[in-house]
Amino acid sequence: MDPRSEVLLRQAQLFAGPLLLAGLPSDDLLGHLPNARSWSWHAGDHGLLESRFAGRNHFGVTPAPVAAPAAVLFLPKSRDLTEYLLSALAAQLAGGDLFLVGEKRAGIERAAKQMAAFGKPRKLDSARHCQLWQVRVDNVPPAPDLEALAQYYSLQLADGPLTVVSLPGVFSHGRLDVGSQLLLQHLDGLQPGHMLDFGCGAGVLGSALKRRYPDSRISMLDVDAFAVASSRLTLAHNNLEAEVICGDGIDAAPLGLSTILSNPPFHQGVHTHYQASENLLRQAARHLDANGQLRLVANSFLKYPPLIEQHLGACTILDEAKGFRIYDARKK
C-alpha cells in the first residue's frame, strides 16, 4: 500500500462517505473505501484501477462531476499542476472538504499553502513521511480554463518555425529540454513510413518529425493525459496531423513502425523509474518493421547500449553533448 493511502486509512472515518480520489496510486485504497471514486490522468494507473474496481474510475484532464461533498488530491510533482487540480476540485466543492495528501519531500507543506485561497487549511495527520491537510471550501473558485494555462515557446527548426504548446505538469513545461534539443539536430536519415514519438510530452519531437517527413504517418504516445492534450494543441497550432495515443508503455504503440524516436522517461515523481524506458528497448523490435530504426537521446550515464544491442541490433552513438548521447540502432 502506498504510504499516502496508509495515511488516509489512519483517518478512515473521514473518508467513509461519497468521495473523489484524484491522482491516486493504483493500490488497494478503493477496496477499503467502497463509496469512493477515482480520477486519474496517468493511463497506467487508470488501467490498473479499472481492471480491479470497474466502473468507479474517471480518466482525463478534467474531473468527473464530483457529486460528493469531499475530494482528496494526491500531491503531484508539478506546482502548476497542483494549482490547476486544486482549483478544478474546489470549483465543485462549495461548502465541502478538500483534502491534500503527499510526501514531505515532495513539498506537501508548501503545496498546502496553495489551498489557502479556498479557506483555512488544517494539518490533520503526519505519518509515514507524509502529511494530510484539509480545507473547507468557503471561497469557491471558478472552474479553471486549462487551455488558458498553456505556455507557448517557438523554435526555428531547419524545416520552419514550430510553436510548442505545453500544459501544466507536462515534461519541460514552457521550454525545450536540452536532450530533446540535441535530438532535434539528428532527425536526418530516419526510415520514413510510420514513425512513432514515444513519450511525446508536449509533442515537440513528433511535430518536428511530421515537418521533416510530411508523407510519413506519425504516431505520438504518452501515458499522461496532460501530455496528450498538449501534443494535440501543438499539432493543431502548427496545422500538423498525427495520431496521438494515450497509453502506458510501448505495448500501447502500433506495430509495423519504420522508426521510433524518443526522449524516453527516467524520472517519475520523487522516485526514479526506468521501467518504461527499459521496456521500450526490450520491445522495440516487436513494433518495428524489418530494417526499422530506433533513435533516442538519453543521459550519458544511462547504460542503454547493451540492452539495445541485446534486443534490437548494433547501437551507434551519433553525438554526445551536455551530458546526453544520441543512440541509433536498426533491427537486425
Ligand X SMILES: C[S@@+](CC[C@H](N)C(=O)[O-])C[C@H]1O[C@@H](n2cnc3c(N)ncnc32)[C@H](O)[C@@H]1O
Comparing CB distances to ligand X, the nearer of 111 and 183 is: 183
Q: Name the 3-class secondary structure at 322.
A: coil
Alpha helices (H) in 19-115, listed in sequence order: 29-32, 43-52, 79-90, 108-113
**Distances 26 to 11, 241, 243 between C-alpha atoms, Å:** 20, 33, 27
d(CA 233, CA 204): 11
Comparing CB distances to ligand X, the nearer of 224 and 328 is: 224
What is the nearest approach in angstroms of ligand X to the Cβ of residue 6?
25
Comparing CB distances to ligand X, the nearer of 131 and 181 is: 181
What is the nearest approach in angstroms of ligand X to the Cβ of residue 88?
19
Answer yes or no: are the C-beta atoms of 157 and 208 closer than 8 Å: yes
What is the nearest approach in angstroms of ligand X to the Cβ of residue 101?
22
Comparing CB distances to ligand X, the nearer of 103 and 224 is: 224
Comparing CB distances to ligand X, the nearer of 128 and 232 is: 232
Please, which residues have CB within 8 angstroms of residue 220's CB and are 6 or more apart in sequence?
196, 197, 200, 203, 206, 228, 231, 242, 243, 244, 245
What is the nearest approach in angstroms of ligand X to the Cβ of residue 203?
7
d(CA 254, CA 227): 19
What is the nearest approach in angstroms of ligand X to the Cβ of residue 248?
5
**Distances 194 to 137, 143, 287 between C-alpha atoms, Å:** 49, 39, 11
What is the nearest approach in angstroms of ligand X to the Cβ of residue 170?
6
Please measure the distance between the N-terminal and C-terminal CA atoms of the chain and give it in whole angstroms.
42
Comparing CB distances to ligand X, the nearer of 71 and 183 is: 183
Please, which residues have CB within 8 angstroms of residue 34's CB and are 6 or more apart in sequence?
none
C-alpha count within 13 angstroms, C-beta hemisphere, residue 10: 15
Comparing CB distances to ligand X, the nearer of 14 and 252 is: 252
**Distances 18 to 15, 51, 67, 191, 229 between C-alpha atoms, Å:** 8, 21, 8, 52, 29
Interface ranges with ligand X (CB under 6 A): 44, 171-172, 177, 180, 199-202, 204-205, 221-224, 227, 248-249, 263, 265, 276
What is the nearest approach in angstroms of ligand X to the Cβ of residue 268?
7
